[in-house]
Amino acid sequence: MNILSLHLGHDGSVTILEEDEIIIHHQLDRFNKFKHEFIPSFELFQKIKNLKINFDRVLLTSIRPITFDIRYFLTKFLNIKEDKIIELNNNNHHIFHAECARHFFNYPKESMYFIADGDGALQTFQHENKFLNGALITENESIYDSELKPLKKFYGTNNQININTNNLTVYQNVSHGKAYQKLTYELGLGAFEEGKAMALSSYGEFKENIANSLVFNQKWNLNLMNRFNESLNENNKFNRYMLDSNLDHTAKDSKSFDFVKTFQIVFQHLILNQIKKINYNYKTLILSGGCAQNILNNTFLKDSLNKEVLADPYNGDFGLSLGSALHFTDKKVKPLKHICSGFKPDLNLDKFYYLETSPKEVAELLVKEPIAIFHGKSEQGQRGLGFRSLLANPLQKDILDKINKIKKREWYRPFACTVIKEKASKYFEIKENEVSPYMMFAYKCKNEKLKNVCSIDNFSRIQTLEKSFHPKYYNLIEEFEKITSLPLVLNTSLNLPGKVLCEDLNDLYFMMKNSSLKYCYLSEENKLLWLK
C-alpha cells in the first residue's frame, strides 16, 4: 500500500510510504519558509508529483480543523480521488507520536513510551454518567507499553471532574507542556521559544519557597497557573501572574533566574513522579511529544531512572505524519534509513564562487574561521547534525563573538558540539559505550578549555558522531584533531533567528548575504563556496 500522509497543524510534515518503506519524511516549513507552519507549497506538491507514485490512501492529520481546501489541491494537482483522502480523528494525536518514536528506534522490546506535550488533542469524554458524558477534555500525557497499549492516560478539563483509575486520570490541571509554555510567555518570550526559557534556567538557583508556590497536592498549582482565564494573545500573554511585568527577565542582571531554575526543577520532578507511579516492568523509556525537546529534563530522567532512556528526535508534531502512516498501514515497514529522510535538494551553484577542496584544507580554515557545512538531504528535527550546521573552533578566544555575530543569538544561549564518539568519554561524563547522536541529552564537561560549548553550569548538549552516520563530517573532525589535538567542533544549526534550517542553496545564499558567514563546505561535492 502506498500512503501519502500530511500533518497540517503547527510543525507540519509530509510522509510518503511506498509499500513497506518510508521513502520521504520531511518538515513542511522547510519549503514554505515560515518556521513551525504547515501550508504546503507548490514546490512540495511538485516534488511529490515527480515521484510518480499512485497513492492508495492519503491521510490528513491536524489538532485543529483544517482551514484551507487541501482536498482541492490533492485532487487537482496530484490527481488523487476523493474517496482515497481520509481526515483522521485528532484523538489519535499521542498514539501517532508513540508510533513514530517506536519505529525510529526499531521497535525495542520491554520498552515504555511517555508522551507529553502542550495543548494535546481536544476531545469529548465518553462516560456512562450522563452528567460527565460529552465533557470536553484534552489529552495531556499518555504512557504506553511496548505494543503501544495504553498504560495510563492523563486528561485535563475545565469541568469539575476528578476521576482517577488504574489507567485513566481526568481532572482540572495544566499539562506539563502548557505549564512550560506559560513560563516562556512570563519571561516575555514568544511562541515556540521554550528552549530559550530552558537556557535561562541554568543561570539561577533552586528556591524551595518558589517551588512550594508552583505546586499544590503534587500537581501544578492551578490557583497560580490559571489565575487569569482569558485566552492568550499577542497583547496579554506576557507577564501574566508570576513575574513583575515591568522588568526585562532576560537581562544579565535579571532577578528572575532563580524562578526559572526552580520552575525547570519542578517540571522535571513532576514528570519523574508521574512515570514512577506506573506499575510496568520495562528496560527502556522512550520520550516523545513536545516535552521531549527539553534536553535538561531528558537528562534528568536518564540520570534518575535505572533504565535506558531514549528521546525521539522527531518528537514534535513534525513526527505526526510518520506516526499516522505507520498506524494505518497493513505492512511491516522497514526501519528508517537515516534522520536525513526528506527530499534531496537541487544544487545550483550560480550564486557562488567555489573551488575543489578536501577535509584537510577545510579543517585548516576552520581553525581560524567559522564555516557552514551543507551535505545532501537535510536532517529532520530541531538540531543541525552536520548536514546543515555552522561549525567553529571552540578553542578560539573570540569564537562566541564571531558565531553570535552570524547567528544573532541571545547572550544566554549556549552552543553545542559534535565529538567523535570513541573519544567522547575523555571530554564529557558519558559512558564509553553510550551514544548521543541526536543532541537530545546534556553531559557534564571534564575539560575547562571547552567552556565555549558549555552552558554556564558546565554542561554541553553533545552529538556523538560515528563514521557511518556522516563519513565526510567525521573525516573533517579527524583532520581538525590532527591540527588542534581536539576531536570535536562547535556545532550549531545553519539558520538565522526565526528562519528555518537551510534546506537548499537559496536558503544558504540568503543566510550568507544577511550575515558575516563567509564560507560553506559543500561536503558531498568536495567544494568550498563563497558569495559572488
pLDDT in tens, 445-470: 999 999 999 999 999 999 999 999 99
Among candidates 226, 195, 197, which has minimal Cα distance to 290?
195
Position 235 scores a pLDDT of 52
Top-confidence residue, 246 or 478: 478
Task: Report the run of H or E that residue 72 belongs to, with start and end.
Answer: helix 70-77
Mean pLDDT of all residues belonging to the chain:
93
Position 239 scores a pLDDT of 47
Q: How much of the chain exceeds pLDDT 70, in percent? A: 97
Among candidates 353, 389, 341, 361, which has minimal Cα distance to 526?
361
CA distance 270 to 173: 13
Q: Which residue has the cell 494537482?
A: 77
CA distance 181 to 495: 23
Q: Which residue has the cell 525521539?
A: 312
pLDDT at 510 over 60: yes
Question: How big is the chain by its Cα radius of gyration, in Å?
Answer: 23
- Strand-strand pairing, 442-444 and 85-87: unpaired
Give the mean pLDDT of 78-83: 95
Q: Are 180 and 193 in contact (CB under 8 A)?
A: no
Among candidates 491, 494, 517, 498, which has minimal Cα distance to 405?
517
pLDDT digits (tens, 9 = 90+) for 44-54: 999 999 999 99
CA distance 125 to 379: 39
Give strand ranges (E) for 234-374. Answer: 284-288, 308-311, 352-356, 371-374
pLDDT digits (tens, 9 = 90+) for 486-502: 999 999 999 999 999 99
pLDDT digits (tens, 9 = 90+) for 395-443: 999 999 999 999 999 999 999 999 999 999 999 999 998 999 999 999 9
Position 190 scores a pLDDT of 87
pLDDT band at 186 (very low <50, low <70, confident <90, very high): confident
Query: Is residue 252 packed enough to be buried (19+ CB in 10 Å), middle (13-18) or exposed (0-12)?
Result: exposed
5's grid cell: 500522509
Q: Is 154 helix (H, G, I), strand (E, B) or coil?
A: strand
CA distance 418 to 415: 11
Position 231 scores a pLDDT of 47
Total number of residues shown for the chain: 532
Give the mean pLDDT of 166-193: 90
Q: Distance from first CA to last CA of the chain, Å, rounded?
A: 47
CA distance 141 to 193: 21
Give the mean pLDDT of 350-364: 98
CA distance 157 to 309: 30
CA distance 27 to 335: 19
Among candidates 388, 409, 385, which has minimal Cα distance to 399?
409
pLDDT at 230 over 70: no
Give the mean pLDDT of 519-530: 98
Cross-strand pairs, 354:
529
Position 228 scores a pLDDT of 53
Position 115 scores a pLDDT of 98
Neighbours of 451 (CB within 10 A): 15
- Strand-strand pairing, 488-493 and 416-420: antiparallel
Position 241 scores a pLDDT of 62
Q: Name all domains of the chain by residue range, CATH numbers in brackets.
A: 3-91+319-327 (3.30.420.40), 106-311 (3.30.420.40), 352-531 (3.90.870.20)
Neighbours of 287 (CB within 10 A): 26
CA distance 205 to 186: 18
Q: Which residue has the cell 517540571?
A: 267
Among candidates 99, 89, 98, which has minimal Cα distance to 123?
89
